[in-house]
Amino acid sequence: MASQPRKILVVGATGQQGSAVLAELSRQASTSPSTFPAGVKILALTRKAASKGAQSLVPTYGGALDLEVVEGDTKNPEPIFAAHGDIDAVFSFTTMPVDQEESQAKPLITAAAGHGVRHFVFSSVERGGDEKSWENPTDVPHFITKHNIELHLRETCAANPTMSYTILRPVAFMDNFNPTSGFGPVMASLWSTLPASTKLQLVSVRDIGVFGAKALLSPEQYAGRAIGLAGDELTLLEARAVYRKVAGLQLPQAWGIVGTGLRWFSKELGRMFGFFEREGYGVDIERLRAEEPRLQTFETWLTESSTFECGLGKGKGKK
């Protein structure tokens, strides 16, 4: 069984999920220094170490963490491991376009096993329940690629038993509604194309970071687990009511024709919202909240983390 790590590689450190993991590691190191593992080195992986986002990582998180910015490409991971030996835990996720997702993760997983990584955390996508997701790739292209990566990770760990895995399966991001995302009104318009009674499960990116940090720091508790992540389940009408309660305004939404047109024009979006209608996500939210009481609802996300005027994250949106 994997023990506490000494060197952690966080992929996509300037992106939403990678920075959420760094933020939670930093929070734990700051608020609970006596229980935070001593001597942990954090390697923050980015494709361009000279970028503005990468240059901000040490000032933002370096006060609490022993953090080093690392430049590299997960499609060609050997130079990363050659330059930084003894990496024993990895947090990874993939981004669009769909035809590049598997090449972002599979080589990294294979290389990690070959270089003695003891625990690999992959952020995937939820597909109908913890057990059902293993057998349900769906017909959504970027769900399929993540399912394929999950299987590769499980098979690689089976063939290399010194490396264990944790798979996180988040649902739709609350953060997609942020005014800084550029997608919020469009997301609401797409949601309006679903039947009024259809509930959509949502999760905050902050909570992906919370569980990512948990899995990295306590691999013995999270090894072999695939965990669906959601903090709320709402209809669009309920989400509008929550937003109105918190912000005193209408939830920003593009014209309905925008969502309808995108579902027709985009294979990716059309199939994903078709999945929401036919099957939907399947996270047991109450069980997850029992495990992590800080799990954010849509309301607490709006006030604690969002970049809306009503949120504490105002002015801190990330691309």
Strands 200-203 and 232-234: antiparallel
Q: What is the pLDDT of residues 258-309, one digit of tens each?
A: 999 999 999 999 999 999 999 999 999 999 999 999 999 999 999 999 999 8
Q: Give the position of tokens 């376009």.
A: 97
pLDDT at residue 2 tops 60 = no
pLDDT computed for residue 316 by the predictor:
55
pLDDT at residue 66 tops 80 = yes
Q: What is the pLDDT of residues 212-221, one digit of tens each?
A: 999 999 999 9
pLDDT computed for residue 3 by the predictor:
62
Tokens of 192: 């309006």
Sheet of 41-46, strands arranged across: 66-71, 41-46, 7-10, 89-93, 119-123, 164-170, 225-229
Cβ-count burial of 127 within 10 angstroms (0-12 exposed, 13-18 middle, 19+ buried)?
A: buried
Beta carbons within 10 angstroms of residue 232's beta carbon:
23
pLDDT computed for residue 181 by the predictor:
80
Q: What is the pLDDT of residues 152-176, one digit of tens each?
A: 999 999 999 999 999 999 999 999 9
Cβ-count burial of 136 within 10 angstroms (0-12 exposed, 13-18 middle, 19+ buried)?
A: middle
Between CA 270 and CA 102 the distance in angstroms is: 21
Q: Give the position of tokens 């199939």.
A: 271
Global pTM? 0.95
pLDDT computed for residue 211 by the predictor:
98
pLDDT at residue 9 tops 70 = yes
Q: What is the pLDDT of residues 73-90, one digit of tens each?
A: 999 999 999 999 899 999
Where does the pLDDT of residue 199 fall: very low under 50, low under 70, confident under 90, or very high at 90 and above? very high
Beta carbons within 10 angstroms of residue 299's beta carbon:
17
pLDDT at residue 111 tops 80 = yes
User: What's the chain's average pLDDT?
Assistant: 94
Q: What is the pLDDT of residues 127-146, one digit of tens each?
A: 999 999 999 999 999 999 99
